[in-house]
Structure 1
Amino acid sequence: MTKAIHTDKAPAALGPYSQAIQAGDFLYVSGQVGIDPNTGEIVEGIEAQTKQVLTNIQAILTEAGTDFSKAVKFTIYLKSMEDFATINEIYGSYLSEPYPARATIEVSQLPKHALVEMDVTVYTNA
């Protein structure tokens, strides 16, 4: 059984997908970019975008009744690997050990010309 998760505290989907899907004990959060849900606009700069991405994910996790402590896998998509250290520092401030598994990938373009996008899988029965 699956259930769509939606909150107005995170940006609406930019296409035909859900903010997140609960499937059994797993929650799959769709890729989030640094859109401020209050304005619908992407925030400026890599630090602000990274914080907004994580804030958006946090809002979706809260709506689903979970949090970052249950995250098992993150994927981070970067416009430039030169931003890796900045993103890593901010990302680390939202999480605690044991840290989830992670992949970080440099890409040529992201939705709305974002500098960073993240998705996460959460094990809700941990």
Structure 2
Amino acid sequence: MSEPLSTDDVHDDPAPYSQGIMTGRTIRLAGQVPDDRDGRIVGTGIESQTRQAVANVEALLAVADATLRDVVSVTAYLVDRGDVDGFNATYAAAFPEPRPARATVIVEDLVVDALVEIQATAVRPAGESPGSAPSALDGSSD
């Protein structure tokens, strides 16, 4: 049975979809753009926008007692091929090793006026206590 995931920490777009769905230990998140809880795009460059989109992914994962360490697959949509290096650097700093499998797609445009959208799938490990991995964005480590 699927359970919808949502949090007030991530802007809830009025479009007809769930912020995330959990089925068993598998968590599938809708694409996350770099908006704050009020729907305003955060930052103007790829690095700041990537950090915010990852923070939104992280906030939704937390609802399911998961972390970035549990992410197994990411699809990233970028509107500018020239942003790939900046995106990769910020992404690498956020996601712990081993990093998830990833596809990066260059698109003409996104639904909102942003540079990046990140969709993630995570699987919570069996028997691992909830929230056992620290946030990769706050600089903490094991």
TM-score normalised by the shorter chain: which range applies? over 0.9
More strand by percentage: 1
Q: Distance in 2 between matches of 1:41 and 1:117?
A: 14
Q: Which deviates more from structure 2 when the two are superposed, residues 10-19 or residues 99-108?
A: 10-19
TM-score, normalising length from structure 2? Answer: 0.84
Equivalent residue pairs, number? 125
Report how far residue 61 of structure 1 moved.
0.6
Please, which runs of 5 or more residues in structure 1 have no aligned partner? none
Please, which runs of 5 or more residues in structure 2 have no aligned partner? 127-142
Output one character per residue of 1:56-114: Cα deviation in whole Å (capped at 9) or x when no partner: 11100111110011110000000011101101111111111111100000001102121
* Higher Rg: 2
Output one character per residue of 1:1-59: Cα deviation in whole Å (capped at 9) or x when no partner: 0000010011113411111000122100100101111x321123122211110111110
More helix by percentage: 1
TM-score, normalising length from structure 1? Answer: 0.94
Structure with greater contact order relative to length (CA < 8 Å, sep ≥ 6):
1
Aligned to 1:85: 85
Aligned to 1:124: 124
Percent identity between the two aligned chains: 38
- Go from structure 1 to structure 2 and tell me whether the alpha carbon gap of 1:86 and 1:14 turns closer, same or farther (over 3 Å shift): farther
Aligned to 1:43: 42
Moved over 6 A (4+): none
Q: Distance in 2 between matches of 1:122 and 1:82?
A: 28
